[in-house]
Amino acid sequence: MMFQGLRFQPALVATCAAAAFSLVAASSAANATATPNTAAQSAMGVKFGGFFSDQQKTAVRRAFAQKYAKAKECPEGLEKKGKSCASPWNTRYWAVGQELQPAVQVYPVSEISAALPPVPKGYEYVRAADDILLISSGTKLVVDMIEHVAS
């Protein structure tokens, strides 16, 4: 094989990945001025961290609160803390621009799907703890998220 015996240096791989991400970010920034934010899509797909508007985030949080405000039990993956549902973790194990780790338990968002914008082709909505994530269906890359929908 052509690559047999080659060893990749982690620092070099990280540098190349950062450079590639910078090029994509620069391209996305250039497209952002040409494309209205309401579309939140470019020719390359959905923009990192730019899919959900502030109004959509507020509407989803409100829908989740209405669904579970007086519930005796929390949805799977959340636990009762006082009078509300909350994440059992103090930290996140996911971030926009990162692949969702296989150990992270995700749940469907069918209970609030009416409050969410239509999901783009090739993507899906999931809930991890008290965050709603838009992820790429194939790679599980987190493209955008609505944080703390239960708080």
pLDDT of res. 16: 41
Specify the pTM: 0.68
- Sign of torsion, CA 59 60 61 66? positive
Query: Is 113:57 a contact under the CB 8 Å cutoff?
Result: no
Give the separation between CA 29 and CA 45, rounded to whole angstroms.
13
pLDDT per residue as tens digits for the range 24-53:
444 444 444 433 343 334 424 778 899 999
pLDDT per residue as tens digits for the range 61-120:
999 888 887 777 888 888 888 777 888 888 888 999 999 999 999 999 988 889 999 999
Structural domains of the chain ordered from first start = 10-146 (3.10.450.160)
